[in-house]
């Protein structure tokens, strides 16, 4: 099912003058979310940059119904809200959790895991800017190896936690990866997820100019480079069937991938490892491991095997 740019709503969903920094990927992602779902959804937002962009009631920087919730309760609050809508006979309303990487992989993880295991009928979107940005760029379990944060001065020593893989292991209906670098791909995935009953998870890579230290004009380019270098494969696991997304499929072939340095160089958070062969080797090794996992998924759950 393709989505035509001409047919997505033109309505503006973010108010001018909201609290987001220039080039903010979270406001881009929220716009695309609204383009995909229209008005018939409620957003559940735990603490993070998006809850600040949202603003303080009764005013709001976002044209949407929003429940602002404590960090640990994003998925459980959404599950309860969905049950309440169903009790009211309104099961047409999508309930969407919009949580950061800290809110997803660390502090909200138990609620996320519980909702996934119960197959609660919600869409959970992790807006992954790879650190606790709202409180001043602290490391999270989704910060990648080598990246500087205010709590990893010499670069993080551990690799990124693979949340989509963990969610697939829960046996949920739908898991996908996306980035603000490819808006139409993200919009299509949100639309597809909204048509499935049960638990849906979308991981949205959201390059943050402040925390990653790059020129704010480059936000979409960095999302695209994460895919082109092979660091971040785009895929869908839809009701037992795994497939690489068409724009990412060519990077299965290592010779088609952009060199990792093209992704690292524009980002100040990697400045200290650009001339460190061992750090670069570890990142290359990480890419190889990610693609081994993709190959395993294609072998067992690829087209026709779901
Ligand atoms: C239980 C709890 N611990 C800490 C905080 C402080 N806090 C508010 S926002 C935030 C960072 C959120 O990071 P992330 O989820 O990655 O979202 P981002 O700000 O990066 O969008 C933190 C630590 C809090 N509100 N509640
Ligand atoms: S710190 Fe990053 S994610 Fe947060 S508002 Fe600024 S640009 Fe957006
Ligand atoms: Mg974050």
Q: What is the domain-level CATH number for residue 152?
A: 3.40.50.970
Each residue of 96-130: b (16+ CB within 10 Å) or e?
Answer: bbbbbbbbbbbbbbebbeebbeeebbbbbbbbbbb
**pLDDT at 134 exceeding the cut of 80:** yes
pLDDT in tens, 244-277: 999 999 999 999 999 999 999 999 999 999 999 9
* Phi, psi dihedrals of residue 268, rounded to the nearest 5°: -60, -25
Neighbouring-strand partners of residue 178 = 204
Q: Is residue 158 a part of any domain in this protein?
A: yes
Please, which residues bridge with residue 259 across strands? none
> Residue 46: what are its φ and ψ, rounded to 5°?
-75, 175
Residue 304's pLDDT band (boundaries 50, 70, 90)?
low
In sequence order, what are the beta bridge partners of 242? 237
Residue 121 Cβ inside 6 Å of ligand 2? The answer reads no
Task: Report which secondary-structure segment, H or E, holds 65.
Answer: strand 65-69
Identify whether 20 is part of a domain: yes
- Ligand in closest contact with the CA of 19: 2
Is residue 306 a part of any domain in this protein?
no
**What mean pLDDT comes out for the span 100-114?**
98
- CA-proximal residue: ligand 2, atom 8 (nearest): 24
Average pLDDT, the chain: 95
Q: Read off φ and ψ for residue 203, nearest 5 degrees.
A: -100, 115
- Determine contact, residues 227/247, Cβ cutoff 8 Å: yes
Residue 28 in domain: yes
Assess whether the C-beta atom of 53 lies below 6 angstroms from ligand 1: no
Place 2 in a pLDDT band, splitting at 50, 70 and 90. low
Q: Reading across the β-sheet that carries 65-69, which strands appear in turn?
A: 65-69, 41-46, 94-100, 123-128, 200-205, 174-179, 235-238, 241-244
Q: Which two tokens stand for residue 58?
A: 């009764």
* Number of structural domains the chain divides into: 1
pLDDT at 10: 72
CA 242 to chain centre: 18
Residue 214 belongs to a domain: yes
CA of 49 to the centre of ligand 1 (A): 8
99 occurs within a structural domain: yes
Check if 101 has its Cβ closer than 6 Å to any atom of ligand 1: yes
User: How far, in Å, is the centroid of ligand 2 from the Cα of 169?
Assistant: 31
- Which domain covers residue 165, as residue numbers? 5-301
Ligand 2 mean position to 103 CA, how many Å? 15
For 57-77, give one letter per residue: b (16+ CB within 10 A) or e: eeebbbebebbbbebbbbbbb
Q: Whose CA is nearest to atom 18 of ligand 1?
A: 48
Ligand nearest to the CA of 47: 1
Q: How many CB atoms lie within 10 A of CB 7?
A: 7
Q: What is the DSSP letter of 62?
A: B
Domain assignment present for residue 32? The answer is: yes
Q: Render pLDDT for 150-189 as a digit per residue (tens, 0 to 9).
A: 999 999 999 999 999 999 999 999 999 999 999 999 999 9
**Per residue in 192-232, pLDDT tens?**
999 999 999 999 999 999 999 999 999 999 999 999 999 99
Residue 186 domain flag: yes
Give Dmax (Cα) for the chain: 60
- Non-local CB neighbours of 148 within 8 Å, separated by 6+ positions: 154, 155, 213, 268, 269, 270, 271, 272
């Amino acid at each position: 099912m393709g989505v035509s740019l001409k047919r997505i709503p033109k309505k503006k969903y973010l108010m001018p003058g909201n609290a987001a920094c220039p080039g903010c990927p979270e406001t881009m992602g929220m716009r695309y979310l609204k383009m995909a779902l229209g008005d018939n959804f409620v957003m559940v937002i735990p603490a993070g940059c998006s809850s600040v962009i949202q603003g303080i009631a009764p005013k709001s920087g976002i044209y949407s119904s929003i429940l602002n919730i404590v960090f640990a309760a994003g998925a459980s609050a959404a599950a309860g809200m969905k049950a309440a809508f169903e009790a009211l006979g309104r099961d047409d309303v999508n309930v969407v959790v919009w949580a950061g990487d800290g809110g997803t992989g660390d502090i909200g993880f138990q609620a996320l895991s519980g909702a996934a295991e119960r197959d609660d009928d919600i869409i959970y979107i992790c807006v992954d800017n790879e650190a606790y940005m709202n409180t001043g760029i602290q490391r999270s379990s989704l910060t990648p190896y080598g990246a500087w944060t205010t709590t990893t001065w010499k670069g993080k020593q551990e690799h990124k936690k693979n949340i989509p893989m963990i969610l697939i292991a829960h046996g949920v209906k739908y898991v996908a990866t996306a980035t603000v670098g490819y808006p139409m791909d993200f919009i299509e995935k949100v639309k597809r997820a909204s048509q499935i009953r049960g638990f849906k998870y979308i991981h949205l890579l959201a390059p943050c100019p402040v925390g990653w230290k790059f020129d704010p004009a480059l936000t979409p380019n960095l999302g695209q480079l994460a895919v082109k270098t092979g660091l971040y494969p785009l895929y869908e696991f839809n009701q037992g069937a795994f497939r690489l997304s068409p724009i990412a499929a060519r990077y299965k072939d290592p010779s088609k991938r952009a060199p990792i340095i093209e992704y690292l160089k524009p980002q100040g958070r990697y400045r200290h490892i650009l001339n460190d062969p061992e750090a670069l080797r570890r990142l290359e090794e990480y890419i190889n491991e990610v693609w081994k996992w993709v190959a395993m998924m294609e072998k067992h759950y690829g087209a026709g095997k779901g």
